Structure 1
Amino acid sequence: MLLIQNIRLSRILRNTWQVDLIMIASCTAAYFVRAYLIAHHFEIPTIIPTVLGTAIAFFIGFNNNQAYDRWWEARKIWGALVNDSRSFARNLINYVDQDDETVKRMIHRHIAFLYALKANLRGAVDEIYIKYLSEEDLREIEKHNNAHNAILNIQSRDLQKLSKSNAIDGFRFIEINEMLTRFSDSMGMSERIKNTIFPTTYTYLTKVFIWLFVVTFTLVISQSAGIASIFLGWLIGFVFVSTQINGMSLVNPFENNSAGVPLNQITRTIEINLLQMLEEDEIPEPIKPINEEYIL
Structure 2
Amino acid sequence: MLLVNNIRLSRIIINTWYVDIIMIASCMGAYFIREYLIAYHFSIPTIIPTVLGTAIAFFIGFNNNQAYDRWWEARKVWGGLVNDSRSFARSLLSYVPQSDENNVLVQRMVHRHIAFLYALKAKLRGTVDLIYVKYLDEEERTQVEKQANIHNAILHKQSEDLEKLYSCGKIDGFKFMQINELLVKFSDQMGMSERIKNTVFPTTYSYLTKVFIWLFVVTFTLVISQEMGVWSIFMGWMIGFVFVSTQINGMNLVDPFENNVAGIPLNQITRTIEINLLEMMGEEDTPPPILPINDEYVL
Q: TM-score range by the shorter chain?
A: over 0.9
Residue 40 (structure 1) aligns with = 40
Residue 220 (structure 1) aligns with = 223
Please list the CA deviations of residues 120-146 of structure 1 after superposition, one character each: whole Å capped at 9, or x if unmatched: 000000010000001121121122111
Give 1:24-103 correspondences, 5 Å limit: 24-97=24-97, 98=99, 99-103=102-106
1:2 and 2:2 equivalent?
yes
1:238 and 2:241 equivalent?
yes
Partner Cα distance (2:29, 2:261) in 1: 35
- 1:10 Cα deviation from its structure 2 partner: 1.8
Residue 23 (structure 1) aligns with = 23
Secondary structure of 1:293's aligned partner: coil
**Equivalent of 1:206, from 209, 216, 231?**
209
Residue 270 (structure 2) aligns with = 267
Equivalent pairs counted in the alignment come to 296
1:163 and 2:166 equivalent?
yes
Partner Cα distance (1:218, 1:152) in 2: 58
Residue 127 (structure 1) aligns with = 130
**Equivalent of 2:141, from 138, 143, 149?**
138
Give the counterpart letter for 1:127 in structure 2: L
Partner Cα distance (2:55, 2:142) in 1: 56
Q: CA RMSD in A?
A: 0.6
Partner Cα distance (2:167, 2:288) in 1: 38
Q: What is the TM-score of this pair, normalised by structure 2? A: 0.98
Partner Cα distance (2:16, 2:45) in 1: 29
Partner Cα distance (1:134, 1:25) in 2: 59
Q: What is the TM-score of this pair, normalised by structure 1? A: 0.99
- 1:169 Cα deviation from its structure 2 partner: 0.7
Partner Cα distance (1:282, 1:95) in 2: 25
Residue 150 (structure 2) aligns with = 147
Give 1:166-181 correspondences, 5 Å limit: 166-181=169-184
Partner Cα distance (2:73, 2:252) in 1: 15
Please list the CA deviations of residues 171-206 of structure 1 after superposition, one character each: whole Å capped at 9, or x if unmatched: 000010010000000000000000000011111101
Give the counterpart letter for 2:96 in structure 1: V
Partner Cα distance (2:188, 2:28) in 1: 53
Partner Cα distance (2:184, 2:135) in 1: 21
- 1:40 Cα deviation from its structure 2 partner: 2.6
Residue 13 (structure 1) aligns with = 13
Residue 292 (structure 2) aligns with = 289
Deviating runs (4+, > 2 A) in structure 1? none
Residue 109 (structure 1) aligns with = 112
- 1:77 Cα deviation from its structure 2 partner: 0.2
Residue 197 (structure 2) aligns with = 194
- 1:209 Cα deviation from its structure 2 partner: 0.4
Give the counterpart letter for 1:91 in structure 2: S
Partner Cα distance (2:163, 2:34) in 1: 78
